[in-house]
Copies of this chain bind each other. A is one copy, B any other.
Amino acid sequence: MVNSVLARVGDKWSVLVVTILADGPRRFNELKRQIGGVSQRMLTLTLRGLERDGLVTRTVTPSIPPRVDYELTDLGRSLQRHAIALAGWAIENQSVIEGARKAFDERHAASS
């Protein structure tokens, strides 16, 4: 359970969707355009997963053409805050981590 939540935060598409929805509701193709590089399939699956977990709501307006809006729930927003905190940590320590990676890679290039 805890694990599946952590997996959500580690999932690229979920994070991007939640980030965009933080600015307000979006329609399916708006999301698709703003994310760019996501397949219809993955976007659908991601949205289903988020909806299933109660992180976003899916509102269908039965018109022609049909219209579907996705929006963050309160739960979704509270998770987003934590994701942002983590992203903040990543940004703060970005140079440290990059330095560590570089040093590691050089150490291992030398041993080859």
- Chain A positions near chain B (C-beta within 8 angstroms): 1-3, 5-12, 15, 51-54, 75, 78-79, 82-83, 85-87, 89-91, 93-94, 96-101, 104-105
Contact = CB atoms under 8 A, between A and B. Distances in A.
Nearest to A12: B3
A5 B89 contact: yes
The copy count of this chain in the complex is: 2
B1 A51 contact: no
A2 B54 contact: no
B5 A7 contact: no
A11 B3 CA distance: 9
B87 A85 contact: no
B2 A6 contact: no
